[in-house]
Chain A
């Protein structure tokens, strides 16, 4: 029984990390119409940033604000220099541009930090287990990640639903051409959304670093699973990404724990089922 409880917690925590990654992916596509295959690489960069900072300062704490601040700056830079010019290009061009970015980011990583696997220590203050029930204890760091992700998700929903900028972003995601007609500066919204998406992906990378080792190509795995989240969750909506991410996190974790012979195939079967039943996604508006 406590085994199941632990797996459910693991699944929720994994799903919330997936939400941080896939919400950026879905917003960037919804608002800018850009397919960013390099989104997984941004996650990888966040994880390696955490590794470098943790090795240099001895603690992960500095890595979290660094990932957010670095992500905002890096994302704004990428949007201003590259992605802005590719907004109106064909899908094929966007795919190849962002594929090139993956190769270049991976090569830069290999030049700067080599190709070894590295582990990142859990911060000392959280390196203990919390007794949840009488016979079951759970890692404090994982609980902290869970809480932090919930906090970030709540802040995001508040910002999107309750602020003027948030409603502009939602409008842009729904009908991009409306934003210009309303007299809003669409280019500012694009930079903001891309910077935010980058920061979230890098924060997710930094948070995930102590949970798994930091390794070459780690971005690919998360890119593809985030695509599954977006397909299952539905078009361009952050709420869809949230529920989709939780569902995929739970299915993947429980599937691997209880049906190991299916290995990683459970999430793809779920995606196939969703495509058959509701091709526009489980939580798409109007579905």
Chain B
């Protein structure tokens, strides 16, 4: 997995600036749609730390997203976002530590199955027990925008704009943090494990500990994304934890490109855009999503981020693996 160069980051910054000006020219509906895409991008980006960097394909990642969202429901209402956001990340990280410690005892196909099973277990906790307020979901009170004692009262009319800026700011922070993380020894070790775990162990790395740290970090970031989902929608339901959402996150990564850190962001916007365009044509969203996946898997192995790579490289069976294996 590569981090975009200077030109790539200039383009990404330009896109972010464009989104930031949306309240000046876009309708409330489109502001909300953009917020949905930004939250999806945060979720997919957190999953990329597992899949693209660490080579761990998890089907239970949405559970941590959902726990982050439910944190707002579980905490007393009226708290500042400065309290709820870290709490959501901590709760999701705690769950990820338990699930990760168990699941990482397996690899590959079995890792996939165990993460799926534990993810569904957490789904059932919120679906079947009174803890989560029932299977139909509950409305939640948005955390207060209180920054260092200064309470920001947001009028109803400007809320979509404020949420958009908040989501955009967090996504930029998350991306910058991950881009820096990938340059550290930890990031390099993770990429090494993806390329060849046995060799990394022979080099003296405690590979399971590195993988567990990545799993917990990814879970915490997913919790942040989930918190923003609940704060944007003011509503949570158990479907937020369901494994279909995990699969959608993987789809965003594949759409955007497994081989680049910014791939999932492109993929999330492409996915939300395609799903939105699909609903204009047909009510049957599953049909649209299913066909999009088939097309992506069959025709676009490098994802959107891979489109500009030379043809020769795109023909390789697994460009991301080749990329990661390079010294």
Find residues 102-156 in chain B having any chain A CB closer than 8 Å to their own CB. 102-103, 105-106, 108-110, 112-114, 116-118, 120-121, 124-125, 128-129
Known contacts A106-B286, A231-B113: A97-B129 contact under CB 8 Å: no
Chain B binder among A6-14, A184-192, A265-273? A265-273
- B124 partner residues in chain A, CB cutoff 8 A: 263-265
5 contacts between A and B (CB under 8 A): A92-B51, A92-B254, A97-B294, A107-B284, A227-B116
A interface, CB within 8 angstroms of B: 29, 35, 37, 88-93, 95-97, 99-101, 103-104, 106-107, 110-111, 220, 224, 227-228, 230-231, 235, 263-265, 268, 271-272, 275-276, 279
- B85 partner residues in chain A, CB cutoff 8 A: none
Interface residues on chain B, number (Cβ under 8 Å): 44
- B318 partner residues in chain A, CB cutoff 8 A: 90
B254-A265 in contact (CB<8A) = no
**Complex Cα gap A268–B287 (Å):** 32
- B297 partner residues in chain A, CB cutoff 8 A: 93, 96-97, 100
B250-A103 in contact (CB<8A) = no
- A103 partner residues in chain B, CB cutoff 8 A: 286-287, 289-290, 293
Known contacts A99-B293, A272-B102, A279-B106: A228-B112 contact under CB 8 Å: no
A107-B290 in contact (CB<8A) = yes
CB distance from A28 to the nearest CB of B (A): 11
B117-A228 in contact (CB<8A) = yes
- A90 partner residues in chain B, CB cutoff 8 A: 318, 321
Interface SS of chain A: helix, strand, loop or mixed?
helix
**Complex Cα gap A17–B230 (Å):** 39
A96-B105 in contact (CB<8A) = no
Interface-central residue, A88, A97, A103, A235, by most chain B CB under 10 Å: A103
Nearest first, the 6 closest Cβ-Cβ pairs linking A and B are A103-B290, A100-B293, A268-B121, A279-B105, A227-B113, A104-B290
Interface SS of chain B: helix, strand, loop or mixed?
helix
- B284 partner residues in chain A, CB cutoff 8 A: 107, 110-111
**Complex Cα gap A88–B294 (Å):** 17
**Complex Cα gap A218–B112 (Å):** 21
CB distance from B36 to the nearest CB of A (A): 19
- A230 partner residues in chain B, CB cutoff 8 A: 113
**Complex Cα gap A99–B244 (Å):** 8
B290-A100 in contact (CB<8A) = yes
CB distance from B203 to the nearest CB of A (A): 23
Q: Nearest CB to that of B321 among chain A residues?
A: A90
Known contacts A92-B250, A268-B118: A97-B293 contact under CB 8 Å: yes
CB distance from B302 to the nearest CB of A (A): 12
B116-A224 in contact (CB<8A) = yes
Interface string of B255-284 (1 = CB under 8 A from A): 000100000000000000000000000001
**Complex Cα gap A268–B297 (Å):** 31
**Complex Cα gap A224–B286 (Å):** 20
B192 at the interface (CB under 8 A from A): no
B59 at the interface (CB under 8 A from A): yes
A276-B51 in contact (CB<8A) = no
B317 at the interface (CB under 8 A from A): yes
A35-B105 in contact (CB<8A) = no
**Complex Cα gap A230–B106 (Å):** 13
Known contacts A91-B109, A95-B59, A97-B297: A271-B117 contact under CB 8 Å: yes
**Complex Cα gap A227–B105 (Å):** 16
Which one of A89, A92, A231 lies within 8 Å of B57 (CB-CB)? Answer: A92
- A275 partner residues in chain B, CB cutoff 8 A: 102-103, 105-106, 114
